[in-house]
Chain A
């Protein structure tokens, strides 16, 4: 799925779990990718708009059903039918013989209120418009890989699929897993914050990757289904934690579309643990996110400034942040496996 894959696991079946995870991602890739000419989704997309119902695998059927449910729950904030918009903006996947005129002119977006697919019978789908499952596919693959690990009775593990992460149980150091949030302005630098997570899934939608120039205009891959244009709400990145990786992925994209003005209300209304970075570089978060956050770079820098000021002037007044509870690793007993994906 175009992302490096990594498993950190504690237990005797770690090697077998790694095999299960890589198998799951390989199978999800061949079913859900839009970049592989031999992918099942690409074959289905080629019949979009023809009225023909194609027989699909159980995996692709579940993915399409999940994408449709995400569309309904987010009230259209998430919509897999942005594929033609991506193609129009210059991000091309496998050739699906898209009608050039249909891809170029798409002002009538009345289809956003209709289901993304018709399920004529179990295993038979018909599309009116081609779909891109990139906004949920990796989350689903993580969901299914997690289930396979749990069937092996693996209680403590972390699966990292290129930044979308699932954790279960304790970290090797017997504390919560520590997950950093990448600074979208400095990918190689210090994380903006660190989250302690014992069980759950975390996903980030950001425009620090998959952005390009199209006809002299800077565009990116996070498309607003209502307008067909890249979202331009003043946000750089949105991170969401939930129990399920697919929903973390869906909500991170949906919240991104809310923009810097609407994201706080939307996230709190949905009760989401969400962190977001606006175009000034500032990190904000919901109360649910705050309770999971164990380190924030901006606060640490402020602490340092106050401490330096207090040291130079004993009459200074200030409130220092309390020492944050944190577990550091003295060594890792975890089995760590990494792999690159085969496609994308």
Chain B
């Protein structure tokens, strides 16, 4: 076999070896990437769970806010219903205050002393009425 023939064989072997090396390298790289991805996924699990919990809490908060909003709406409605009665009460209090002021003014105009006409009447019994018993220090 001549040199030309051996060169061709050498090129073929070289190409085969190179291809095999490439394939082995590619397999190694792929394995390494797969391992890194699994580690990353495992590291991200708690974060994902926390995000899910926050989302759940948020949903609950949203529901409570909705309920509170409904409650507030009902209270506002009830207060609106009471408002006429409150207005009436305030008006009554105003009237009472005005009446009290008038009474106070009238009282201020009354004389401090009133002279009564002379009265003659039998005075109260001067001596003690007859008693059936007398309460006193009871002794022992």
A residues neighboring B (CB under 8 Å): 1-3, 6, 8, 35, 134, 138, 158, 160-165, 167, 171, 177-182, 184, 187, 190-191, 194, 202-210, 237, 239, 249, 294-295, 297, 299-301, 303-304, 306-307, 310, 314-324, 326, 328-329, 344
Contacts and interface: CB of A to CB of B under 8 A. Distances in A.
A3 B138 CA distance: 7
Contacts of A162: 136, 138-139
B136 A328 contact: no
Which interface residue of B116, B119, B129 has the most chain A CB atoms within 10 A?
B129
Contacts of A210: 137, 139-140
B139 to A, nearest CB: 5
B136 A204 contact: yes
Contacts of A320: 119, 121, 123-124
B116 A317 contact: yes
B126 interface: yes
Given A2-B139, A3-B138, A320-B123, A328 B130 contact: yes
Which range holds the interface residue count of chain B? 20 to 34
17 contacts: A2-B139, A138-B138, A163-B137, A178-B132, A179-B132, A191-B134, A203-B138, A295-B125, A300-B123, A301-B126, A317-B116, A320-B121, A322-B121, A323-B122, A324-B125, A329-B130, A344-B139
A210 B122 CA distance: 41
Nearest to A220: B137
Contact of B128 (A8, A180, A205, A344): A180
B138 A171 contact: no
Contacts of A208: 136-137
Contact of B129 (A165, A318, A326): A326
B109 interface: no
Which interface residue of A165, A203, A319, A328 has the most chain B CB atoms within 10 A?
A165
B6 interface: no
B134 A180 contact: yes
Given A303-B124, A307-B123, A320-B121, A328 B129 contact: yes
A314 B118 contact: yes
A3 B135 CA distance: 12
Given A177-B133, A317-B115, A249 B124 contact: no
B118 A300 contact: no
A160 B131 contact: no
Given A300-B124, A319-B119, A165 B135 contact: yes
Nearest to A327: B129
B140 A158 contact: no
B137 A184 contact: yes
Contacts of A307: 123
Contact of A294 (B115, B118, B129): B129
A178 B136 contact: no
